[in-house]
Amino acid sequence: MRTFTNVKDLGDLNQAVKEALEIKKNRFAYKNLGENKTLLMVFFNSSLRTRLSTQKAGMNLGMNTIVLDINQGAWKLETERGVIMDGDKTEHILEAIPVMGSYCDIIGLRAFAKYENKEDDYTEKILNQFIKYSGKPVFSMEAATGHPLQAFADLITIEEYKKKERPKVVMTWAPHPKALPQAVPNSFADFMNEANVDFVITHPKGYELDEKFVRGAKIEYDQKKALEKADFVYAKNWAAYTDPNYGQILSKDRSWTINTEKMSLTDNGYFMHCLPVRRNMIVTDEVIESPQSIVVQEAANREISAQTILKRMLENL
Ligand code: CP
């Protein structure tokens, strides 16, 4: 594996989940695979889970890990070619990327959508420059349009908790005070569309996601109807994707918050969220603290999803 940016990079998805669950049984089984290999994790944005779980995954495989926070201690990077660099940006990304690549064997990158230019975001301008110019395998630790490590961990969690062969999985928009990226819902849809699940998306009108990820999945605008008999409720906020509202908040309607009444419509369903979560905006205290909430178990599986990707990349070096 040279890149991990979407579900297709995993090949056979059932096989990938099986491999992840095997790793979970003994996460130190490949502790020599990464000997004398270096993982560089580059963050343009903040993180708790991705930072810790990916570093831990590398350590489980015997790798050395380096973390670079671009906005804390590194030079400010210019990302546009042709710019006269007479402003506050000290270094161009076209030198910085191959230099970073020279110090490591594998690169993980976090670079969120900026919501300044839809084309730049949806062509994954930063991520693709790392893939093109680093000379090293690159995986997304949440880029502009996708968060595949999260979606893979979500699928592993669903596999562990499902009580039926083909569970009903509902991804629901929920309100948030800030304009959040579409990366998590895009990747969740990308993965659910390839998994053996009955997948339904519910959101207010105007929050339609890119068809590249939705791929004809069922959209139900009535949230309560969507939640009926659900086995998994995956809540997430995202800003508008469609023009002319790209990157904007169209609603903060708290009637979309997941509460006990909504969960009672499900088939004793589990509550999931990628975290961090705004309580009593996305989900009530009661629901997230209930036995049906599996958000911590889901976050714990981030270590397993990252380790599966790193293992495959190490095996292919
Ligand atoms: N879910 C997730 O990626 O968490 P962090 O932003 O804390 O890494």
Phi then psi for 102, rounded to 5 degrees? -75, -15
**184 alpha carbon – ligand 1 mean position (Å):** 10
The response to whether residue 274 sits with its C-beta less than 6 Å from ligand 1 reads yes
**75 alpha carbon – ligand 1 mean position (Å):** 24
Give the nearest ligand 1 atom to 46 CA: 6
Give the nearest ligand 1 atom to 149 CA: 3
**274 alpha carbon – ligand 1 mean position (Å):** 7
Distance CA 313, CA 125 (A): 22
The response to whether residue 290 sits with its C-beta less than 6 Å from ligand 1 reads no
DSSP code for 33: T
Phi then psi for 42, rounded to 5 degrees? -110, 120
Closest protein CA for atom 4 of ligand 1: 49
Q: Is the dihedral of CA 275, 280, 284, 285 positive or negative?
A: positive
The response to whether residue 275 sits with its C-beta less than 6 Å from ligand 1 reads yes
**292 alpha carbon – ligand 1 mean position (Å):** 21
Distance CA 199, CA 132 (A): 34
Give the nearest ligand 1 atom to 51 CA: 8
Distance CA 311, CA 289 (A): 34
- The angle at the Cα of 15, spanning 9 to 19, to the nearest 5 degrees, equals 95
**148 alpha carbon – ligand 1 mean position (Å):** 12
Query: What single letter denotes the amino acid at residue 156?
Result: I
For the chain, domains (ranges, CATH) are 3-146+302-315 (3.40.50.1370), 150-299 (3.40.50.1370)
pLDDT (tens, 9 = 90+) of the chain, 317 residues, equals 999 999 999 999 999 999 999 999 999 999 999 999 999 999 999 999 999 999 999 999 999 999 999 988 899 999 999 999 999 999 999 999 999 999 999 999 999 999 999 999 999 999 999 999 999 999 999 999 999 999 999 999 999 999 999 999 999 999 999 999 999 999 999 999 999 999 999 999 999 999 999 999 999 999 999 999 999 999 999 999 999 999 999 999 999 999 999 999 999 999 999 999 999 999 999 999 999 999 999 999 999 999 999 999 999 99
Cα–chain-centroid distance for residue 43? Answer: 14
For a substitution probing ligand 1, which of 156, 234, 275 has the most ligand atoms within 8 Å of its CB? 275
Distance CA 307, CA 13 (A): 16
For a substitution probing ligand 1, which of 152, 176, 274, 295 has the most ligand atoms within 8 Å of its CB? 274
- Report the pLDDT value the prediction gives residue 183, as an integer from 0 to 100: 98
Distance CA 193, CA 77 (A): 36
**48 alpha carbon – ligand 1 mean position (Å):** 6
For a substitution probing ligand 1, which of 47, 69, 297 has the most ligand atoms within 8 Å of its CB? 47
Distance CA 85, CA 91 (A): 9
**82 alpha carbon – ligand 1 mean position (Å):** 34
Distance CA 98, CA 175 (A): 40
